Amino acid sequence: MIFGYSMYKYDPLVIFRPTFTWENYVKALTDDMYVTAILNTFQISLVTTLLALVLAYPIAYYLAKIRNRTEDTVISFIVFAPMMVSVVITSFAWVILLSPYGTVYQLLSALNLISGPFRLMFTKEGIIIGLLYGQLAYMVMTLRSSLERIDWSVINAARIHGASSFHAFYSVTLPISLPGIFAGSIVTFSLSLSSFVAPFLLGGRMVKVLSVVIYDNILSTYNWPLGSATSVVLFVITTISVGLFTYFLQKTRLAWLRT
């Protein structure tokens, strides 16, 4: 249905005319604003995924080794809270914190670390912070379940045979936890690609990403055909990149296992 609409021609009076045209796709793939939006979407998702991986790994590692139930509950609660609360609310909280004269600004200026308004809202970095906060939990959970399946005596064996703790981690723990790393990265990456609320509220309309462009087309300017074409583009991009991601990660994994 979306695909059908995307072929129609936009008409300001009746929203669309049922004709057959590729012009919406041409616009969605070549127009400067759309190209920027596609690139922004990619860049933001990639950075978010990498940062989430780096931040989540130690947390997951710690949670996997934990034996104390109360501590486990408390940490899980803190990690999961952002996922349980609506993304509108967490994004909005970041707006309060990061806005030009917001809480972080007040804190930093009280410490004389900053002069002039704080610039993190309406930038890619702001969006990345918001996304990271919302999606860390997915990453922690996938990593944790793969780390929990590790038989720790294997690592002990490596240590006994004289591997340094870094070496044991790098050549034993890390390869074993790779499936978790892949799964977590794919989920985080595809969720970031299609996220809407955080980029909208934290990026304003200053940073264009695909989902915000779709929203504007559908609900602000009522250009349904163009909006549909854009969302087909987003869908295809998500599917292809998840596919490619899986493929390349499998290849690296095999290469890693051979060395």
Partner 1 sequence: MVPVVVVIGASVTKANYISFPPDLFSLKWWGDFVSTDIYQRSTLLSIQISAASSVITVAIALLSARVLARYKFRGKTILNTMFNMPFTVPQVVFALAALFFFSSMGPILPVHFVICFVVMDLPLAIRTISANMSGLDPDIERAALVLGADSISAFFKVTLPLIKPGLIGAFLFSFLSSFNNTTISIFLSNPRYITLPVVIFQEIEFYAWPSLVAAASFATILSLGIMGVIHRFVGIASMYK
* 223 touching partner 1, by CB under 8 A: no
Is the Cβ of residue 14 or residue 255 nearer to partner 1 in the bound state? 14
Residue count, binding to partner 1 (CB under 8 A): 54
Q: To 10 degrees, the CA torsion angle through 143, 145, 147, 152? A: 170
Segment contacting partner 1 (CB under 8 A): 90-98, 114-122, 165-173, 245-253?
90-98
* 103 touching partner 1, by CB under 8 A: yes
Is the Cβ of residue 76 or residue 109 nearer to partner 1 in the bound state? 76
Choosing from 21, 145, 173, 246, the residue that interacts with partner 1 (CB under 8 A) is 145
| Min dist. Cβ of residue 44 to partner 1 (A) | 14
Any idea which residue has 């163009």 for tokens? Answer: 226
* 229 touching partner 1, by CB under 8 A: no
Choosing from 14, 84, 113, 255, the residue that interacts with partner 1 (CB under 8 A) is 84
Is the Cβ of residue 78 or residue 160 nearer to partner 1 in the bound state? 78
* 40 touching partner 1, by CB under 8 A: no
* 215 touching partner 1, by CB under 8 A: yes
* Cα separation, 87 vs 235, whole angstroms: 21
3-state secondary structure 157-211: HHHHCCCCHHHHHHHHHHHHHHHHHHHHHHHHHHHHHHCCHHHHHHHCCCCCCHH
* 201 touching partner 1, by CB under 8 A: yes
Percent helix / strand / coil, the chain, rounded to 5: 80, 0, 20
* 85 touching partner 1, by CB under 8 A: yes
Beta carbons within 8 Å of 70's beta carbon, 6+ residues apart: none
* 57 touching partner 1, by CB under 8 A: no
* 235 touching partner 1, by CB under 8 A: yes
**Counting Cβ atoms within 10 Å, is residue 12 exposed (0-12), middle (13-18) or buried (19+)?**
exposed
Can you tell me whether residue 10 is helix, strand or coil? strand
Q: What is the largest CA-CA distance in the chain?
A: 76
* 169 touching partner 1, by CB under 8 A: no
Can you tell me whether residue 27 is helix, strand or coil? helix
* Length of the chain in terms of residues written: 259
In one letter, which amino acid is 42? F
Choosing from 86, 112, 115, 153, the residue that interacts with partner 1 (CB under 8 A) is 86
Question: Rule CB under 8 A: which residues touch partner 1?
Answer: 1-2, 5, 63, 72-73, 76-78, 80-82, 84-90, 92-97, 102-103, 133, 138, 141-142, 144-145, 190, 193-194, 196-197, 201, 211, 214-215, 218-219, 224, 227-228, 231-232, 234-235, 238-239, 242
